[in-house]
Chains A and B, each alone.
Chain A
Amino acid sequence: MDDIKNLVKIANQVQQALLKLRNYRYLELLNQFGSASDKLHEIVAESKKLALSLSHNWFTAADYCCGSIDRLTSDITYYISRVKQFAEKPREEIPTLSALVEDLKQLEQEFGKIEFDKAATTISLITKPITLDDVYLGPFKIQLELKKLSELYKDSPYYCIALDPHPAATNEEVTHPHVSNDKLCEGEGCAAIRTALEQGRLCDFFTLVKSILNTYSPDSPYVSLYDWDGEPCYDCGYVMDRDNSYYCSFCDRTFCEECSTYCRNCEETLCRGCAGKCEICEEPLCSNCAHKCAECGIYCCESCLEDGICQNCIQESEDENEQSGNQTTGTNEKSNTNQSAANTPEIKLAS
């Protein structure tokens, strides 16, 4: 008997919440209609500006008006569709108390004990532990907040709380591939969940949410199960997902972005441990692209070598040549001077 009394109390709370939801729908319709009406006023104002621009042959101004009108028509289309969405919804009959009690009884049959928090006006159920693709995620508490049911058209009124969380290694807010911050992304179930809540079919609502939690959609998870445990960087140990990992083919290990680089010559990815550098330009180099200078033996990239000699050695060689060239020129100039003096005939001035 006490159980029935409790169920009746819960059913009463649900009925009150559904009444508020129905009333909220009308308020939301007015709200959307107001927004559409504001946009219509704006478009009328823009059309007046357009007429004025054309009367003065201000074609640049006219173009600007056309742009504004174009944007406003898109906005109006959106708001009109929202108005239609709320206006065409059939008026939902609020379920009777006895129908709600039957629904709650079915809920207990399907799920086991219902938790009802009178203060917070929440109805909660706990699922069995969930494992998807051999990844253990633990049981979840599906918590419906009756106070937030009237906000159904703005925000989700329920949470999926992990009771034994095994979150993704790369994001602890993601406790399930389709749950982030305790919020479920409903995907294909969105419309059916909304309809079930609007009509007060709580058993159908909880069943649908449980179905989503027990199904893995590999196309669009917050974190895929493949990346669930992440991959640690071989160097620093940072846990990353596979999309953000870098493979070094030289040591056959995986590294994070910080611990990896790439050869500036062949653009091959490699870890900082396997990467060398050009001694001239100091850019990272792999062992395949590093060449030894034939003169001094340092390792350089191709662009810093000329005929197998590094830029430093070439420069040194040029400097040496220049120096020896200068010395030779100086000696030659002296001997030339003496020679020219010898060759110049003696000119005797007349007395």
Chain B
Amino acid sequence: MRILYINNDGCGYADYIDVAENTTVEQFFMIKMSGKDAGDYMIRVNRQPVTRDYVLKEGDRITITPTKVEGAKIL
């Protein structure tokens, strides 16, 4: 099924992707953000906070935004 995936980590990514039916938010995060701690991210589905066991549906919009981003001095 197709969902809109927006990842604001790194360079930023926003596009439609295919995911398996009955994929939960937790499973999706583990696949796409392997090795990262979900606690360091703000996850929204259709602009709303959801539980980790929320099952993604066709046409859902999932956004993953880091809550810890390091700034830097301009050289």
A residues sitting closer than 8 Å to B (CB atoms) are 102-103, 105-106, 109, 177-178, 184-189, 191-192, 194-196, 199, 201, 203-204, 207-208, 211-215, 217, 219-222
Report chain B residues within 8 Å CB of A220.
72-73
What are 30 A-B contacts with C-beta separation under 8 Å? A103-B47, A106-B44, A185-B73, A186-B71, A187-B69, A188-B10, A188-B70, A189-B66, A191-B11, A191-B12, A192-B8, A192-B69, A195-B11, A195-B12, A201-B14, A203-B47, A204-B8, A207-B8, A208-B8, A211-B66, A211-B68, A212-B70, A213-B71, A214-B67, A215-B69, A217-B70, A217-B71, A221-B71, A221-B72, A221-B73
Majority SS at the chain B contact face: loop
Given A189-B71, A196-B8, A217-B72: A208 in contact with B47 (beta carbons within 8 A): no
Residues of B in contact, count (CB < 8 Å): 21
Interface residues of B (CB under 8 A from A): 6, 8-12, 14, 42, 44, 47, 63, 65-74
Known contacts A201-B14, A203-B47, A204-B65, A185 near B71 by CB under 8 Å: yes
Tell me whether A204 and B10 are in contact (CB under 8 A).
no
A-B CB proximity, top 7 nearest: A178-B71, A195-B12, A187-B72, A217-B70, A192-B12, A191-B11, A189-B69
Interface of A, helix, strand, loop or mixed by DSSP = helix
| CA distance in complex: A221, B75 (Å) | 11
Among B10, B66, B67, B72, point to the contact of A178 (Cβ < 8 A).
B72
Closest to B74 in A: A185
Cα–Cα distance between A127 and B9 once the two chains are bound (Å): 21
Contacts of A105 in B (CB 8 A): 47
Query: Quick check: B63 and A204 within 8 Å, CB to CB?
Result: yes
* Shortest CB distance B15–A (Å): 10
Do residues A196 and B12 form an inter-chain contact, with CB atoms below 8 A? yes
Chain A residues, CB < 8 A from B73? 178, 185, 220-222
Q: Are B71 and A184 in contact (CB under 8 A)?
A: yes
Instruction: Establish whether residues A201 and B69, one from each chain, have CB atoms under 8 Å apart when the complex forms.
Output: no
- Choose among A103, A109, A215 the residue that contacts B68 (Cβ–Cβ < 8 A): A215
A192 lies within 8 A of B11 (CB): yes
- How far in angstroms is the closest Cβ of chain B from A188? 5
